[in-house]
Amino acid sequence: MAEPPRAPHHLAASIRARGGSEWHLILRYLLIGAMATLVHTAVSVSLLLLTPISPLYGHVAGFLAGFVVAATGHARYTFKLETGQGAAIARFFLVALAALIISEAALAHLIGAWGVAPLNAQLAAIGVSVACSFTLARLWAF
C-alpha cells in the first residue's frame, strides 16, 4: 500500500484522500497536544499565581515545558517517526516558536490593550498557540 503524501496542500483534501484516516491523526495530535497544553498551563499559571514573574515570562517557561512533551509525543505517537526525527523536531521547534510568538503577541495585546485579566488572557493565548501549531506541524514539520 502506497504511503499517502506527508504534506498536503489542503487539510480537507488530505482527509478526503485518506478516507478519514486523517481524523485519527487529528485525534492523536489533540491528545498529545492536550497533555502538552496541560503542562504548559500548569507551569505558566503556577508561575503567574505563585511568583512575581511577568505573565509573558511565565508563558515562555510554560511553552518550553510543553514543547518537550509535544515534540516527544508527536514524533513517537502522532506522526510515528522512525527515522529523521532530528530534522522533524527542529522543524517542529520552529513551528512551536512561531506559535509562541503569535500567542505572546495575543497575550500582550489582551492584557495591555483590552485589559483582560492575566489568567483569562493566558488561557486564550494557549488556545491560539494550539490552533497555529497543529496547522503548521501537519503541513510542514512532520
Per-residue pLDDT tens for 67-118?
A: 999 988 988 888 887 766 788 888 988 988 888 888 889 889 999 999 999 8
Is position 77 within any domain?
yes
Q: How confident is the model at residue 114, as a pLDDT?
A: 95
52-71 residue pLDDT tens: 999 889 988 998 999 999 98
Is position 1 within any domain?
no
Locus of grid cell 500567542: 103
Query: Is a pLDDT exceeding 80 seen at residue 24?
Result: yes
Is position 5 within any domain?
no
Phi, psi for residue 113 in degrees, rounded to 5:
-90, -35
Is position 2 within any domain?
no
Distance CA 88, CA 91 (A): 5
Residue 119: which domain range?
A: 18-141
Is position 9 within any domain?
no
Number of domains in the chain: 1
Scored b (16 or more CB within 10 A) or e, 61-78 reads bbbebbbebbbebbbeeb
The model's pTM: 0.65
Is position 4 within any domain?
no
Nearest to 71 by CA among 111, 99, 113: 99
Q: How confident is the model at residue 11, as a pLDDT?
A: 44
Is position 3 within any domain?
no
Is position 126 within any domain?
yes
Q: How confident is the model at residue 10 (pLDDT cuts 50, 70, 90)?
A: very low
Which residue did the predictor score with more confidence, 126 or 53? 53
State how far Cα 86 lies from the chain centre.
Answer: 18
